[in-house]
Amino acid sequence: MCFPLYHRAEGRHRINLQPKGGLAMKYRMCSLLLPLVLAACATETTVYPYAGHEELNSTTILDAPAPVPGNFAPENRFMVERGEYLVELLGCGGCHTDGALEGAPNMDKSLAGSGVGIAFMNPFRNEMPGVIYPPNITPDAETGIGTWSDQQIDAAIKAGIGRHANRRIAVMPWQGYAKMNEEDVAAVVAYLRSIKPVKHKVPDAVKPGTRATEPFVYFGTFRSR
Ligand code: HEC
| Domain assignments of the chain as residue spans, ordered by start | 6-43, 74-217
- Confidence (pLDDT) at 45: 62
Pocket lining: 64 vs ligand 1, CB cutoff 6 Å = no
156 CB under 6 A from ligand 1?
Answer: yes
Ligand 1 atom index nearest CA of 152: 29
**If you take atom 11 of ligand 1, which residue's CA is the nearest one?**
134
If residue 78 lies in a helix (H) or strand (E), which one and from where to where? helix 77-89
Ligand 1 in contact with 132 (CB < 6 A)?
Answer: yes
The predicted model scores a pTM of: 0.81
Task: End-to-end CA distance of the chain: give it in Å, rounded.
Answer: 40
pLDDT of residue 55: 87
pLDDT given for residue 125 in this prediction:
83
Residue 53's pLDDT is: 85
pLDDT in tens, the chain (225 residues): 333 333 333 333 333 333 344 444 445 544 555 555 555 555 556 777 778 888 888 888 899 999 999 999 999 999 999 999 999 999 999 999 999 999 999 999 999 999 999 999 888 888 899 999 999 999 999 999 999 999 999 999 999 998 877 889 999 999 999 999 999 999 999 999 999 999 999 999 999 999 999 999 998 888 888
162 close to ligand 1 (CB < 6 Angstrom): yes
Task: Kindly give the number of the ligand 1 atom that is closest to the alpha carbon of 94.
Answer: 5
Whole-angstrom Cα distance, residue 121 to residue 127? Answer: 10
Look at ligand 1, atom 40, and give the residue with the nearest C-alpha.
92
